Each structure stands twice: as structure tokens, then as C-alpha cells.
Amino acid sequence: MMNKMKILLNGKSIELTDVQTVSQLLDSLDMKAGRVAVELNREIIRKESYESQAIQDGDEIEVLQFVGGGSR
């Protein structure tokens, strides 16, 4: 049986299929764990918890990365 849920990812509503953890979400997005930071409902999720941290329907998730920028 397919497991579907809706989450808010970086401000956009998306539907996930068979994704249950942060780790699986990053894999599905083709994101490497060490290259991004993840917030789940405004709380930072540590890298060590990506595999165990469950995602639920209605969660708000932010995935952030370093970009060019400095003292402009």
C-alpha cells in the first residue's frame, strides 16, 4: 500500500509517497546530508537524527544550504 502525505517544503505544498523519515526525504530530493540543514516545524534536526526522525502529514520542513554571499 502506498503511503501518501502532504507537507510544506520550503514554503511549497508537496505530496510525498513512501517517505517516512527526514533521511528518506533528503534522498528523494537528491540532497546530501552534510550539505544542508533541516528544520522540522521550526526546530533544527541534527544530522544524527535524520534516519530516526519521522515526518508526518502537515509537517513544515525547511531545507537550507550555503550560498554565495558575504559583506556585499
HEC states along 21-53?
EHHHHHHHCCCCHHHEEEEECCEEECHHHCCCC
Q: Shortest approach of other proteins to residue 4 CB, angstroms?
A: 19
- Min. distance of Cβ 1 from other proteins in angstroms? 27
Q: Binding residues for other proteins, how many (CB under 8 A)? A: 24
In the region spanning residues 4 to 63, those forming contacts with other proteins, defined by CB under 8 A, are 10-11, 29, 31, 34-39, 44, 46-47, 62-63
Q: Between 3 and 65, whose beta carbon lies closer to other proteins?
A: 65
- The number of C-alpha atoms within 13 Å of 11 and in the hemisphere containing its C-beta is 1
Chain residues in the site for other proteins (CB under 8 A)? 10-11, 29, 31, 34-39, 44, 46-47, 62-72
